[in-house]
Every structure is written in structure tokens, then in C-alpha cells.
Amino acid sequence: MEYHPIPQPEEIEVRVREDAMGAYFMMFATTAMGLPLPILNLVAAVVYYYVNRDKGKFVQFHTLQSLYSQIPVTLLNSGLVAWTIVNFAKDYDFTSFYWGYLVMCGTAGLVYFIFSLVGAVKARKGIFYYFVFFGKVAYHQVYRIRPEHGTSAAQNRPPNY
């Protein structure tokens, strides 16, 4: 599989770098909003991606990386909120598996936060910073050279006799 060449830091304009950095910082801004309803973070990430997708592959890569890494964190947090509500509503026990899950969500949130912070700083410097798994997926998505198809114009033909 072939990929488009990636630009070097000096080739990337400052405005582009700032837009790329914004993908991560936007997450922090929406975190407080997303605490009671984690899904809001994800909505914000999707909106940011669609607004900025035309600003070049560098911005696309960072917004996608930020968006993809947001998905599991959102799902984990949504699961935690749901589990907590069910426990309170049904008067269930807060089992050790619940507390384990809480710790895992906290760890995931912390790791996500640190990676995003580093990602934002690197993006500002025009550097590609790849998150584990999500970095590769985002790179593959943005820089893969897609085979061209459907370019030939449709032609009208007479019926077959």
C-alpha cells in the first residue's frame, strides 16, 4: 500500500499547525461539558473534524487522531455513567469489578489527556506525533493513496439489436 509523502515541519504553515493543535485543545475545552454526558465530547470532535477537514492533510491527521482516540474514552466514560446510575437506581452493590472499571476509566482518561497534551505541543511545532494504534489508523486514513476509480465519463450508447 502506498502513502502520500508527509511534509517536514518547516514546510507546514503556522496557521495550519495552530489548526492541528486546536483539535487537541478543543477536547480539553469540552471535557467539563462532557463530564455529565461524555457523548458531548465526541460530538464536538466530529464537528471539529468536519469544519477543518479541508485545511490540508496535516490538520486532517491530527483532528482524526484526536477524534479516534476520543471514541474509546467516551465509550468507557458512558459505560461508567450508565453503570453508576443503574447501581443507584436499582440499589445494586458497587462491586470490586465496578471499582476496577472506575480505575481503568481514570487511567484511560489520564493517558488520553497526556497523549493529547503532547500531541498538541508537537502539532504546534509541525511534528507528527503518533498515538499508539490511533496514530497509525489516522495516518492510514489520511495519507493512503486511494486507487482512482469512476473517473471516466459515462457514455450513452444506442440499444443492442
Partner 1 sequence: MQRSILRDLLILLGVFALIWLAASLFHYPDDPQLLSIEKEERLGEAYVDLILLNPMFRELENETIDSAVTIIGERLEAGLKQSDYHYSFVVFENKMINAFTVPGGNILISTGLIAFCDSPEELAAVMAHEMGHVEERHVLSRLIKELGIDILTSGDQYVLGEVTGRLTSSSFDRKQEEEADRFAAELLERSSIEPRTLATLFRKLEKEEDNELMKHFEIISTHPNFSSRIKEALLYEPGDDFEARSMDLDWASIKAGL
Cα distance between residue 126 and residue 116, in whole Å: 15
Contact string (CB under 8 A) for partner 1, positions 40-69, x = contact = ------------------------------
133 makes contact with partner 1 (CB under 8 A): yes
Cα distance between residue 124 and residue 14, in whole Å: 8
96 makes contact with partner 1 (CB under 8 A): yes
Stretch that binds partner 1, among 4-12, 101-109, 119-127, 151-159 (CB under 8 A): 101-109
Q: How many CA atoms lie within 13 A of 88 on its CB side?
A: 5
Task: Report in angstroms how near the CB of residue 19 gets to partner 1 at its nearest.
Answer: 26
Q: How far is CA 151 from CA 147, 148, 154, 156, in A?
A: 11, 7, 9, 16
CA dihedral 77, 114, 21, 54 (to 10 degrees): -50
Task: Report in angstroms how near the CB of residue 102 gets to partner 1 at its nearest.
Answer: 8
Stretch that binds partner 1, among 14-22, 31-39, 43-51, 92-100 (CB under 8 A): 92-100
Residues near partner 1 (CB under 8 A) are 1, 91, 93, 96-97, 99-104, 107-108, 132-133, 136-137, 140
